[in-house]
Structure 1
């Protein structure tokens, strides 16, 4: 009987020991769980930080695009005519551009940079002429070529082959040397004073005639006299031009819509200091 009692007590003690070990095991398991969770939490921020760094990185700084678009008419010595710039003054301006590190870009390059994410050189400048005077070919062309520049001419289509204006062969030679020939209407009218039908004819027929003569697209336009309104701008857009230039002062930037682009007027009496100022301040 005594042996039986001792055996029962031994079994009871053994049971208690086993029970205590089981509880201890459970407690240990629970104690490890927060540690595991903490380790997981430490890993997650590290992964997130790495992913964020790879995605965004340090963005490279890009200077906002602002480009001066110079515009001239005639390069010829004629006292009292502000439309005609003396050749020596024009050449002095081109020397200035060269010495300051400017590179001429085409209207096509400008369009791509402003609206399509294209690239431009560090110091871009666009050189334009209005109307299509013959001296653009006989005088301005050799000067520009001498200093490594090209230009774009907004041509009045009815003036081609006329006295004092460029001929078809001259226009084609300019194109062969990297110049652009673009639209400036048929007859150089004040477009805001015309009815819609006449405006469309001026724009459409000029574009078609130039494209036929040149054998290539004409994509850009300048308003004669800088004269335009909302309806005229819409007509230019509807005709298929990609950009249109006014005579309003300032540089171009992507915030301007394609049919209201500003230019930098270069006139006879401005002097080199004024020329320099207009190339340093977009809001001159």
Structure 2
């Protein structure tokens, strides 16, 4: 098996390097670098299968009203929530007006949607539990304080649950008076006081930025497995130690996924558009980015039919 793998890797490397050397001289450095990187990546993938998680279910039971199990589940992704009067960047698709968010939640409530926890979603993905046909998962990336100011009261009113992926280095112990025009982050004190709605997970400790990496490509710092390893340790030391993760900018690669799996992460989210279904790879789950223009009714209707 080892010999076969070695032959495959060598053949792939030779093919890629040949293509690189055939490129025009001006592109030679980049092409050769990229070919080497791809060959190394393929070799790592072939020789480093993901470590088994040993996951045997969280023991979640489907709600009594489950009925027919959902064929797929939409995981909705929000970021920054603010009232329209404070939205100074209306074209920024990561900013959702608080009024639009409240309409989304009202729509879910009036139609009887169940908001699943990540433990329940994990059991659903692995086939350990069913979820109601009308199920949605609510996620918030980056840990903005306005999620607490504007989203939390609405979700609490409707009895909803949600997951927030925070950047550990941005989390203060406590916050002063909330400034709706500022950019502040949820504090540890707020994490405790909103735990009846939010569960909190990792968006890295301090890797939510882009940096130049292999061959001059500028990508998420969290996609660098060598940076990710110590960052994971810092996040766990900060007390945010769950098996769930969201990739900054949705960017990752096999080395980074392998590192996360080594450290006990069992489920992670991208920003690739689509639904979650039983049997999906738990480290590459899709989500649906919600903007002010998102037709939530259409998103929910899609979940009932197709999945991906």
Alignment partner, residue 194 of structure 2:
174
Among residues 262, 266, 275, which one is paired with 1:242 in the alignment? 266
What are the residue-to-residue correspondences of 1:1-284 with 2, within 5 Å?
63=69, 65-76=71-82, 77=84, 78-79=87-88, 80=90, 81-161=92-172, 164-175=184-195, 177-187=196-206, 188-190=208-210, 195-211=224-240, 217-270=241-294, 274-282=295-303, 283=307
Confirm or deny: 8 A CA contact 2:71 2:133 kept in the other structure. Answer: no
1:50-71: CA deviation from partner (whole Å, max 9, x where unpaired)? xxxxxxxxxxx96564111101
Secondary structure of the residue that 1:263 maps to in structure 2?
Answer: strand
Q: 1:250 Cα shift?
A: 0.6
C-alpha distance in structure 1 between counterparts of 2:103 and 2:197, whole Å:
22
The alpha-carbon distance between structure 1 residues 196 and 114, as it changes in their structure 2 partners (threshold 3 A), is closer
- The TM-score with structure 1 as length reference comes to 0.70
C-alpha distance in structure 1 between counterparts of 2:243 and 2:125, whole Å:
15
- The TM-score with structure 2 as length reference comes to 0.65
1:94-114: CA deviation from partner (whole Å, max 9, x where unpaired)? 011111210111101111222
1:208-243: CA deviation from partner (whole Å, max 9, x where unpaired)? 3133xxxxx412000000011111111121121110
The alpha-carbon distance between structure 1 residues 257 and 208, as it changes in their structure 2 partners (threshold 3 A), is farther
Q: CA RMSD in A?
A: 2.1
Alignment partner, residue 214 of structure 1:
none
Q: 1:195 Cα shift?
A: 4.1
Greater relative contact order (CA < 8 Å, ≥ 6 in sequence):
2
C-alpha distance in structure 2 between counterparts of 1:130 and 1:239, whole Å:
21
C-alpha distance in structure 2 between counterparts of 1:189 and 1:239, whole Å:
22
Q: 1:281 Cα shift?
A: 1.1
Q: 1:269 Cα shift?
A: 2.9
Secondary structure of the residue that 1:210 maps to in structure 2?
Answer: coil
C-alpha distance in structure 2 between counterparts of 1:192 and 1:134, whole Å:
23
C-alpha distance in structure 2 between counterparts of 1:144 and 1:156, whole Å:
22
Higher share in helix: 1
Confirm or deny: 8 A CA contact 2:127 2:279 kept in the other structure. Answer: no
Secondary structure of the residue that 1:128 maps to in structure 2?
Answer: strand
1:133-170: CA deviation from partner (whole Å, max 9, x where unpaired)? 00111110001111221110000001102861011110
5+ unaligned residues in a row in structure 1: which ranges? 1-60, 212-216
C-alpha distance in structure 2 between counterparts of 1:195 and 1:122, whole Å:
38
C-alpha distance in structure 2 between counterparts of 1:278 and 1:224, whole Å:
23
